[in-house]
Every structure is written in C-alpha cells, then in structure tokens.
Amino acid sequence: MSTRSIFDAAHLRDNFEKSGININFIPVIWKYVIKNPNLEWDEIPSLPLSAYALLRSKFKTLTSNVHSVIDSSDEVTTKLLIKLQNGEFVEAVIMRYDTRLGKYGGKPRSGGPRSTLCISSQVGCKMGCKFCATGSMGFKNNLSSGEIVEQLVHASHFSEIRNVVFMGMGEPLNNYTAVVEAIRIMLGSPFRLSPKRITVSTVGVIHAINKLQKDLPGLNLAVSLHAPVQDIRCHIMPAARAFPLEKLMDTLQVYQKNSKQKIFVEYIMLDAINDEEQHAHQLGKLLESFEVVVNLIPFNSIGSLSRYRTSGEEKVSRFQKTLRGTYNIRTTIRKQMGQDISGACGQLVVNSSDRTLDASTDIEDLGTSR
C-alpha cells in the first residue's frame, strides 16, 4: 500500500514522531477529515509546514469509497458497499432503532432514535461456518486499522452512529492488532465512542479473548456459540475444532471474572440441528454459572449455498422459554433487519456478480443494564 489512510494511527504516529511533529495534531486532522473527507491537506489550518509535506507525500484522507448504497424497504437498514484501495469490497450496515417503541422491564424505554453500525474486519473469512455466506468466500485479506475506521467515517455521513458492532465480514480476533487499534481510535478524540457501545464478536479465538479484555477493558464481548456441544459446533463451524468447547468456557469464566461484565452469546437457530428441547437444556446447563445474554438468531437463507432451514417460531419460542424458565438465563430473539437487501445475519457475501451483513439486535443496551 503506497499511500496509507490517515486513520492508520500507528503509521501516522510513527511518521509524525520521526519528523518531530507533535502527535497532538492527529485528532485535529481527523476531525477535519471526518467533516469533509474530500478536503485538501492545505485546508486544515495551523499545522506545521513539515506536517503538510508529510501528509501530501504519504497519506490519503480516505483510501476507500462508497461504491453503492442500498436501503431496505422499511428504511431502517442501509447497506454500504465499500471499495478498498486494493480493489476488494467490504460491506458495512447501518441499523436504525427507536427505543421509545419498545419496553424494558415492562416499562416504556427512555431515549429515542439512534443507529448501530455493523463493521467488517476482513475481506472474507477463514472460519468457514456452513450457515454463513461469508464463509463461502474464503479468506482474502485483513483490513488495516484505517480501512476499519473508514467504515465508521463513511457511515457517519448517513446517520449519527452511537453503537458499533464487529459482526460483519471476517473474524475480528484473527485481525487482532488492526481491530484493537481501530477501536482505540473510535474511543478517542474526535469519535469518543463509549466502550459500552462497542461489541466485538468472535467464534471463540481462545488465545485472544483474555488479551482483548486487558487491552480494551469495558468492551462488550459476543461469542458465536451456535451449539451447546462440541460435535455439533464442529459440524456447523469447522473452525471450532481449534477451539474446544471446554477450553472456551474456561476462558470465558476467566474473562468474566476479570471483566465483571455480561457476555453475549449468539445462537443461530437451525431446524433439527441445534434447536431441540435437549439442546436448550444442554445450553442452559453450559451457561447457568455465567452472567450472559443469549441472543437467538433466526437463520437467514443464503440461496444455493444453504443446506439448512430456519427453526419455526414455535420452536424458537419454546427454546427461549426453557432457557428463561428453567435456567433463569436472559434470552432475546434477534429482530431481523435488512433481509430484503441481503443485509441480515449471515447473508454477507461479496463476489464479482453479487456485491452483497449481520443485522444485530441493539445488544449494547442490554449490556449496560448490569
């Protein structure tokens, strides 16, 4: 990459320090770029002359651009197809919520409209989950921290983003350094997102989970469990072989002990695979010693790639009642958003013929009610 994104923080900071330029100018530069991504470097006032020369020679305001924008028919979901500098594509999905329309604890919820952004961390994915279209792409490359942050910059011109979820294309913890750096940028000036409003989802990359808690305390962790026993996990998620369920649960126990935070558990409902009464009891017993929120996710068709069917509403409801009633585990059913634009959970795939993310429940609000 000959010219780097201005949001590649480590590279920018290193160049500033080597040139004797005060790194405190960096948030100022970002603020101007966020407001006007098409600006010329000379339009940013009061920088040292050496900074202008450095920026012109080594950095771009943005290395990606919004190739297309698709809105769902209900106008609550917007899918951005983003073209990267290397010619590859990723997607980011904006999901709009109005908390006044729901209830919490039987009482009307406070607040109002806000938006959650679902971000990609890789082009493709190595995990190969059989129920997810992204897995059919294979892995192409990691995104830089700048390319990750640029998704937030692009989205901010369509909606005011309050929450960010790393639930798009790729396994975030397989691109650990870039994801952590991107989140640190989002937490700092000028973005200033709260760690409580950022969620990282993982299939369970054991060695990185506790490291994440140490590097980014206060962040929300979501684990794509999808099955209560190892053999089913391995069947639908081949990468689970590298992350044995017993070791994963031990890791999550340590994570929760250190973080003192709820863990979000994502569970896709696959008819006759993982949605029977026995599975609900197995999952309840597996999680009863944790403080978790289980999010049951209706399976979304991925066309000819799909070998599964979604569980019926009655089955999903019964599964939820078992977890709640027998094991007192807080359990939600994910509201599907963006299905008509292939922007719902597991539908993300980008190839030469179809530039087609994971629409998430606004789980950060569940996490703040500790």
Q: What are the catalytic residues?
A: 91, 345
CA distance 249 to 244: 9
Q: Looking up tokens 């409209």, which residue turns up?
A: 113
The three-point CA angle 105-109-110 to 5° equals: 140
Residues 291/121, Cβ–Cβ less than 8 Å = no
Three-class HEC string of 82-117? EECCCCCEEEEEEEEEEHHHCEECCEECCCCEEEEE
CA distance 301 to 217: 36
Residues 45/221, Cβ–Cβ less than 8 Å = no
Residues 6+ apart with CB under 8 A from 158: 69, 78, 80, 94
Q: Amino acid identity, residue 265?
A: V
- For residue 156, the SS3 value is helix
Q: Integer distance in angstroms from the first to the last C-alpha of the chain?
A: 43
Residues 6+ apart with CB under 8 A from 23: 13, 16, 17
- Concatenated DSSP letters of 165-187: EE-SSS-GGGGHHHHHHHHHHHH
Residues 6+ apart with CB under 8 A from 104: 369
Q: Looking up tokens 């013929």, which residue turns up?
A: 353
CA distance 269 to 171: 20
